[in-house]
Amino acid sequence: MGHVRDLPRGEFGVDVENGFTPKYVIPKEKIKSVNSLVKEAANIDHLWLATDPDREGEAIAWNLLEVINQKSTRPRPSRGEVGKAKSPKYDRVVFHEITRDAVIDAFGHPRKIDMDLVEAQQARRVLDRLVGYKLSPLLWKKVKSGLSAGRVQSVALRLVVDREREIEAFKSEEYWEVLIEVSKVTKVTKESKGGEKFVVKLIQINGEKAEIGNKDQAEKIVADLEKSQYKVTDVRTKDVKKYPSPPFTTSTLQQVASTKFGFTPKRTMRIAQDLYEHGLITYMRTDSVNLAPQAIEAARRYIEKTFGKKYLPNVARKYKVKSKLAQEAHEAIRPTNITVDSSQLTVDSSDHKKLYDLIWRRMVSCQTAEAVVAETQVDVEAVLVRGPVSRFLPASARSKQKSIRDQKDNVELRAVGNPFTTATPRIADILSIALAYELLHSFLLIHDDIIDESSTRRGRTTIHRRYEKKTSRHYGMSQAIVLGDIACFEALDLVNCSSFTDSQKVACFAKIISTIIETGYGEGLDVEYSNRWTNFNNIRQMTELKTAKYTFVGPLTVGAILGKANKSQIDALSKLGLLIGLAFQIQDDILGVFGKEKVVGKSVLGDLREGKNTLLIHKTKEMLSGKKREELARIWGKKNAGNRDLKRVQKLIINSGALFWAENEKAKLVKSAKVYIKSITRDNDLQSSFSELADFVITRDK
């Protein structure tokens, strides 16, 4: 039946000047029904008001009682009938499900009308009228006649407009993702095992996030991946708990019914109303996820009996909404009898069965134990193979910063020789030699960090500092020296365990040992020249020994030896490595003063405090004179130097012209290096790879 009184349709109906008092009238279509109720009320002594258990239902009960009191035809009590009222006595009863037990319980606990709920409904209705009647005429005048504004619809429209503006303001950028289907292979035959396939997503290229901006880039990557070999680098499995969803509220029921069945909100509520009136579900207008204790217990008994105790949590699940405005006294939408599933319904409509089944399943699942799912994450690395000898382009878990020796080894093998008939054994051997140089690099850096007293390298705590934190300074340095030495011998062992010929291994050992000796001399000179004036040629010689020999000359010439290069090719590669190595160190010198600490991964005050006599600083001293040169001498090597000192040094370097010299010098070195590239190989791809490597060395920011 709905509301028996409402604001008049043809007028404002709210007395704004007198406390926003509403003017109520009986709608024309309700007059007959209201008169019938008034007539019946005249013949009874007790009135039971059992309207819906919400704000609207409370208002309907109050309005009906008001109309009965106003229109009552009961005779006034005579003098002898003192105590009898003109209106019948009344009680308000509330139930959330139309079942025998619920109705009996409600009549056993009657109450009076809750005026707080009535006034809340009245305030909502007055607000509807205020907004609609005041704003709608403005819309007719400014936009279009026939439009209407409302307390809810206007706010909803604003949300839609704001979102649409965000969409219009959004600058879309094309992006592509690459997904690869891989399958497990046997270790012996390298053949795929049927059926064991899974899809992986490309997330990194050379250690950096894969950002693919157009179709051409995507196709090039796919072309490379099709030629690649894959290996699993890491497998992580963990148990993930998935908790059940809470029982339905009005809004969540409408959302899920729309998603699963395509029901409109209106259709969902009409069907839910029918189910409620047939006593099959609880009241369907609710924003609460609360459940009655007896309903929870009934669900737990049903789960244990039907599915088994293992599907039942130890403690009953109780849900609460986050909103402070939710009416927790109400219940969520649930079946009135959990033992009745949709197959037992007597209703003919399939829509009714669908919606009931949805509500029933949600109620059962919300009281079950959480699902425990084994979630496995697999990291797969792709290695690009070109021809019988390989060039490696890892798809993940490899950094592009300074770890580039493995690429140099393999590029050079491809350039100068092709002694093997199959690619597979060569990949493992090449990786062994590349890894040997990585270990050698680690060995040298551990010792270098001890000499420089560095606390971080590439954003991580250095080895000796890591051990110092746990014990003492002496212990930290001792452990670091030992670990560095182990890395050195592990490098030699990797070469020894490879399947290269004995003569090739001997040549490798000879080159690695000479690299260690030369780098050691360079490190010694670095210590000797710190905070001490010497000539530029000495600094250059030190740089060649301590940096260029192990970063570029060694890996490139070892690769050439293993590729059976001739002497002229090896000499050319050695000169190439020396030039790129010097350029590499000049870029390091620049980053050591002008780099961003978060990017470089170590303190930019390190070289300053240690008094490192780098090519850049030596050139600055040469180009300064008088007081400015003395100022640099005072600051450089100052143990407690701070950011203010650093900024002053930066200014001296720039003003002296030394930074300009360094930028030009590294560019000249790379240009000279590129001349040797063409004498080493005629392969365009490899020439391009060498050029990219040379350019990267002087443009990197870490």
Catalytic residue IDs: 283
Q: What kind and span of H or E run contains 76?
A: none
Residue type at position 461: T
Rounded CA gap, 265 and 402, in Å? Answer: 60
Give me the residue label for tokens 């060995």. 443
CA atoms within 13 A on the CB side of 368: 22
| Closest C-alpha to 667, from 551, 549, 582, 577 | 582
The structure tokens listed for 219 are 């196709």
Residue type at position 162: D
Give me the residue label for tokens 């992986």. 200
**CA 407 distance to own-chain centroid:** 32
The structure tokens listed for 392 are 């490696």
Within 10 A of 521 (CB to CB), how many other CB atoms are there?
15
Q: Contact, 84 vs 77, CB < 8 A? A: yes
The structure tokens listed for 329 are 């006294």
Pairing relationship of beta strands 89-92 and 46-49 according to DSSP bridges: parallel
Rounded CA gap, 432 and 495, in Å? Answer: 7
Rounded CA gap, 481 and 459, in Å? Answer: 21
> Bridge partners of 371?
242
Binning the chain into helix, strand and coil, the percentages to the nearest 5 are 55, 10, 30
- DSSP alpha helices (H): ranges in 211-264? 215-226, 250-261
Residue 202: burial class (beta carbons within 10 Å; 0-12, 13-18, 19+)? buried
The structure tokens listed for 47 are 């009135």
The structure tokens listed for 326 are 């939710």
| Closest C-alpha to 423, from 462, 380, 478, 384 | 384
- DSSP class of residue 245 equals P
Residue type at position 33: S
Rounded CA gap, 619 and 613, in Å? Answer: 10
The structure tokens listed for 428 are 């493992």
Rounded CA gap, 488 and 182, in Å? Answer: 37
**CA 510 distance to own-chain centroid:** 49
Rounded CA gap, 329 and 292, in Å? Answer: 10
Residues near 17 by beta carbon (within 8 Å), at least 6 away in sequence: none
Task: Give me the phi and psi of 528, to 5 degrees please.
Answer: -60, -40
Within 10 A of 54 (CB to CB), how many other CB atoms are there?
19
> Bridge partners of 92?
49, 111
Q: Contact, 331 vs 286, CB < 8 A? A: yes
Cα 34–35–39 angle (5° rounding)? Answer: 120
Furthest-apart CA pair in the chain: how many Å? 135
